[in-house]
Every structure is written in structure tokens, then in C-alpha cells.
Structure 1
Amino acid sequence: MLTADRLFYNEGIHAVGIQRIVAESRVTRVTLYRHFASKDDLISAYLDRRAAYDHRQVDGIIDAHPDEPRQALEELATALTRDDFAAVRRGCPFINASAEFTASHPVRVHALEIRRWVTERLEGLLQRLEHSDPRSTAEQLMMVRTGAVVSGALDANEHLNDDFLACWSKLIDDGLPRGAQARARSRGK
């Protein structure tokens, strides 16, 4: 699975054939097909593995801050800059996979599911902060995250982390009740 993950992410799903995966993973074709009945099953396992990482990361951060939704949101953003931007130099694996398949293909459905799940988790945190527009802001936070991942993959933005964190915080702060905005600003100084 690690070989398929590396090759699918680095080179693209369509560009990598089963024979290449067999050769580089040093397993027989029979062994591979014993675990994955088809290439589509292997692709699904690849995306499941990537989604499971996201689930663990997001839930772990939220669970670490059960009474501090703002802190959880900040830590989620920080985790992206600390972990994900460096790990996804070729962009988001779900977006990359989606680009290779039609809208009705299970790969696209899988990508949509993980993005919706993350967005729902962000929305829940924003609701707990009594944000004025948690649904729209959660969507915007996902857009900013996606844009930052693409920027990290394509641009030579030396300020990507700082720019991303500032935008993330502003989106959150702009919808908070006035007293919460003042507290957020004082924490940032």
C-alpha cells in the first residue's frame, strides 16, 4: 500500500499501472489482487488511508481542546502549516485524484466526502464560538486551505504560512461577536 500511495501521489493515478506497483512493492500480482480485486479497489484504499490520516489529525486536535473551539481552529491552521504544506508539495491528494476522474466516479465521491467532513468539523467549531455565519465561513476556510495547498505546490511564496494563518484568523474573527473579537485581537498581540 505504501508503494501505491507514493506512486499515485507523486505521479498520478492514471500514470501508474499495476505492473509498476507490483515491481516496486516486490509483491506478486497474485498477492496484490488477493488484497485488492482491482485497481479501483487499490485507489479506494489509497484514498481511505489518506482520509484516515485527516480524520485522526482533525479529531485529535479537536479532542485536545474540548472547551476551546477557537484554540482548536487555530491549532488546525497551525497543523496545516507545520505538517501538511510540506507533505503535499504536489497539492492535495484528493484534488489531484479528482482531477483524473469524471464527476460520477467513486474517486470524486470519496474526495467530496472527506472535504465535506472537514468542513462540517470546522462549522461545528464556529457554531460553538457563536460565529455569525458558521456555514459560509467553514466553506471559506476550506477554500483558503485548498488555495494555500495549491500555492504551496505551485508558487514560491516565502510568506505562505504567515499569509495563510492571517487569512484564516481574519475569516474567523470577522464573524465573532464584538467581545470575542476584542479577546481574539488581544491574544494575537
Structure 2
Amino acid sequence: MAEQRRATTTRPSAARERIVAAADRLFYDEGIHAVGVQRIVTEAGVTRVTFYRHFPSKDDLVDAYLERRKQFDRDQVGGIVAAYAGRPREALTELATVLTRDDFAQVQRGCPFINASAEFTGTHPARLQAYDVRRWVTERLEELLREVGHRDPRAAAEQLMMIRTGAVVSGALDRNSHLTDDFLSAWAHTIDSGR
């Protein structure tokens, strides 16, 4: 039965994609608890039967929404690491530059994983998804820092992740007109001071 449920919830279809796309927009813009199933059904242009065929519960949809966001992050980071294979310092710079160039504009309400985590406690899928993607990105940073010969790649990777998180939150809350320069400076200092 669990196998059948998993197959049902992951079957690719246009309706499923519309549901997840509507959830992505609404959950990010308004919050997960604030958006009910009926609103998503209406926005996606599907019936409740179709919704529940793909997502037996709202938590299943939350998981799919964050999985989609997580896959975007993994594709983005993984693509940069692959594009700069053998050039780890350049990869680290590009990871920071992409965040300032592309992502700051897309996360004006803050990090979707932090926002989702704030709405749930314990081992809810939202918190597990946030932990998973943040750990994965931190591990990629640590690998790159190890390649550049950083003397403490584990600590520096954690610090880079904190700087990244702080920059996203600052972008959403502080109206810091120097955010990009401040972020890039802190990022580069953390890398270069340990080499």
C-alpha cells in the first residue's frame, strides 16, 4: 500500500505540476499555514479529487513543494561545482555571485526553508527538508574549501552557510543598500583568511 501511495503522489502529470507550482507561489508568498487546500485547488485549476489523488495530505504537498525548491538548489550548486571542476576558488566565488545576481531577487521574503521550518516543529517534513538541503550545500562548500587548502574547511563551510543565511534574511528585512558588497566581502574573507 505504501508503494502504491508513493507512486500516486509522484506520478508526473500536468495537474500535479500545476498544484505544486501554485503551492510554491502561495506557500512562499503567504505562508504554509495561511494557505488552505481549497485555495490551492482553485489556483491550480484542479478538483479536490485530483488534488488528493496526487497529495493524500497537505503535508505531502508541503514535502513536494520543498523537494522542488531543494532540487533547484542542488541543480544550481551542482551545476556551478561541475562547471568549475578543478577550479575550486572560482567555484566558491561563482556560488556567491549567483546568490547576489539571481537569488536575492527571488527570495525577497527570506529563505523558503527557514520560513517553512519556522511554521513547524520536531521532525515535520519541512524541517527535515531544510536540514537536508542546508547540509548538502554545506558539504559541497566544505569539499571546495578542502580543495583550496583551507586550514579548517568544516568550520569555514559552516560560516559560509551562516553568512549566506544572514544575507538572505538581511535582504528580506534590512533594506541594506550595501548587501551585495557586504556579503561578497564577508564570503571572500572567510575563504581567504584560512588559506
TM-score (norm 1): 0.92
Matched, 1:29 2:72: no
From 84, 88, 100, give the equivalent of 2:107. 88
Q: Report deviation, 1:175.
A: 0.3
CA distance in 2, matches of 1:55, 1:102: 24
* Structure 1: distance between partners of 2:123 and 2:46: 32
Amino acid aligned to 1:54 = D
Deviations 1:119-140 (A, max 9, x none): 0000000001110110000000
Residue 24 of structure 1 and its aligned partner are, at CA, apart by 1.3
- Contact in 1 for aligned 2:62/2:125 (Cα 8 Å): no
Q: For residues 143 and 56 of structure 1, what CA distance do their matches in structure 2 show? A: 21
- Measure the CA separation in 1 of the matches of 2:102 and 2:180: 11
Counterpart position of 1:17? 36
The answer as to 2:100 corresponding to 1:77 is no
User: What is the aligned partner in structure 2 of residue 115 from structure 1?
Assistant: 134
Alpha-carbon contact 2:110-2:169 (below 8 Å) kept: yes
Structure 1, gaps ≥5 residues long: 177-189
Which residue matches 2:161? 142
Name which of 22, 26, 29 aligns with 1:7. Answer: 26
Q: Distance in 1 between matches of 2:100 and 2:181?
A: 9
Give percent identity, aligned residues only.
Answer: 68
Structure 1 moving runs of 4+ over 2 Å: none
How far 1:110 moved relative to its partner? 1.2
Partner residue, 2:77: 58
Q: Does 1:124 align with 2:140?
A: no
Name the residue aligned to 2:5: none
**Structure 2 stretches lacking a partner, 5+ long:** 1-19
Aligned Cα root-mean-square deviation (Å): 0.6
2:173 equivalent to 1:154: yes
1:182 corresponds to:
none
CA distance in 1: counterparts of 2:179 and 2:121, whole angstroms: 31
Q: Does 1:97 align with 2:116?
A: yes
Aligned residues: 176
